[in-house]
Every structure is written in structure tokens, then in C-alpha cells.
Amino acid sequence: MKSQPPNDFLGLVRDGLYSLVSNVILLESPGGGYAFRFGIEKTSSFQHFPEGVKAALKTLYVDYFYRRQDDFWQREAMEKLPALKAATQMLICGEDLGMVPGCVPDVMKELGILSLEIQRMPKAAGATFFHPKDAPYLSVVTPSTHDMSTLRGWWEEDRALTQRFYNEILQRSGEAPYFCEDWVNKILLEQHFHSPSLWAIFQLQDLLGMDATLRRKNPHDERINIPANPKHYWRYRVHIGLEDLMKAEGFNPDLRDGG
């Protein structure tokens, strides 16, 4: 009787087949014609094209996703969003991150919808970081969301990026600390505390990161969701009771005073 192949081998075969299936640039439309898949530059097919072909494809790609359909999305937005606004008295914030049509900023401004500004997800072309001091008034600033690593987790993800952030945004010379020390965490939050943005909203994990005696030992235990991992959703649980947190004499006054 033949032995079964190890699970790690089967996993490699599965991932390889997935890669082959997804290694396409254009998807055939049921109604005829073709449409671009998202992220063509990440496929090996795209990487093997001559530079001239790459440039031409990227121009068509950008036009397809970000320009050609702008008028359509704007008309749809101005028809649907005012009705949604009228249905509630809540202040509305738009998650205008990642791949968004070019009309989005103008539509949000016209309707008074707050934008979402995240320091490590800048919207300016070519920028690596965003500084909270540059946030518009009609916005919400936050250092992280439930679908991202916390400040402490992000600090350890990419050493080169962290070093650049330490020198450029924190304007500190020398080598950046390997871990996001409590004083570093505090400086990052202070930038958000003093932002001109209408709202600054924080995850509890990022706030607790200012206090070495309260925060978790392992920053990776603070992560709420990993979108790419279906087994890691809403995993975070607060490790401190509310009664004990109310007694944290060093943490609470510091937070109350805005850092």
C-alpha cells in the first residue's frame, strides 16, 4: 500500500495550481471582449513581457480602472449616497482606501462625507507615509484598523521601512529601536492626537501600547483580523478587566491629557 504524500507537499501542489489559474492578465467577458484582472503587475506573465509592452498594458489598465468608468460611478454615487445620508443622523465616514475611482474625493467633499486617513496607507502618489498633521478637517485619522496589524505589529514587519519611518516621520537620527517601545508608540499616537482632523479614533491595543505594564507581551496577539486567513477573524480579546483598567493610575491621566 502506497504511503500518502505529506500535507506540506499537497499544499505546495495546490498553491502551484492556484498560481497557474490566476496567472492571467485579461479575463474573457461572457458578453464578448476582455477585461483586465486586478493587479496585473504581480503576475509572472506580465513580468515576462518586454518593457514597451508592459508600459502599454499598464496605461490601458490604469485607464480601465481609474478613468474610463469615472462618470458612471459619479452618477451612481450622487443618486444613491444622498438617500443614504438622509436615512440617518449619524456622521458618515467613507473607507476611501486602496483602489477607488478618481471621482471619489470630489463626491465625498460635495456630500460632506469624512475621509479615512491612515499613516501607513498614504493617498498621495509616490508617498510612503502620511503625516496626521496634513489630514483635512473633514476626515478621521487612525493609526490602524481591525484588518491591519497594530502599531507594534507593523513596526516589526519591515525593518527597512521602519527605519525610514523613524528617520523621516519621527525625525529621529540613528538606528530605530527593533521593537515599538512604549515611548515610540506614544509619539505615534501624539501625532494623531494633535491632527487637525475632525476625529481621531484608536484601537484599544494601540492605546495600551503606550504603557509597557499594560500592553500584551507579544504584539502579534493584538491582531484582530488577517483578511487573507479565513481562520483568523475577530480573534482579539482584551486581556485586562475594565475594573483593573480604570485603576491604571499611570495610563489613564496620560491618555486623558492627550499623551
Domain with 56 in it = 7-66
pLDDT at 183 over 90: yes
- Domain assignment present for residue 88? The answer is no
pLDDT digits (tens, 9 = 90+) for 89-124: 999 999 998 778 889 999 999 999 999 999 999 988
pTM of the model as a whole? 0.77
Q: What's the grid cell of residue 39?
A: 493587479
Which residue, of 28, 46, 66, is where some domain finishes? 66
Q: What are phi and psi of 93, to 5 degrees?
A: -120, 135
Strands 34-36 and 139-142: unpaired
| Same-domain pairing of 251 and 137 | yes
In the chain, % of residues over pLDDT 70 = 97
| Same-domain pairing of 50 and 135 | no
- Domain assignment present for residue 49? The answer is yes
Instruction: List the one residue out of 43, 11, 16 whose CA is nearest residue 27.
Output: 43
Count the domains in the chain. 2
- Domain assignment present for residue 164? The answer is yes
- Domain assignment present for residue 2? The answer is no
Which residue, of 35, 51, 66, is where some domain finishes? 66
- Domain assignment present for residue 96? The answer is no
pLDDT digits (tens, 9 = 90+) for 138-172: 999 999 999 999 999 999 999 999 999 999 999 99
Q: Using CA atoms, how far apart are residues 208 and 216, in angstroms rounded to an integer?
A: 8
Within the chain, residue ranges assigned H as helices are 7-22, 44-47, 51-66, 70-86, 104-111, 151-155, 159-168, 182-193, 204-208, 242-246, 251-256
Mean pLDDT confidence for 199-209 = 95
Q: What are phi and psi of 204, to 5 degrees?
A: -60, -35
Under the banding of pLDDT at 50, 70 and 90, the label for residue 65 is: confident
| Same-domain pairing of 60 and 121 | no
- Domain assignment present for residue 99? The answer is no
| Same-domain pairing of 50 and 173 | no
- pLDDT at position 162 is 96
Which residue, of 50, 66, 82, is where some domain finishes? 66
| Same-domain pairing of 174 and 235 | yes
| Same-domain pairing of 165 and 235 | yes
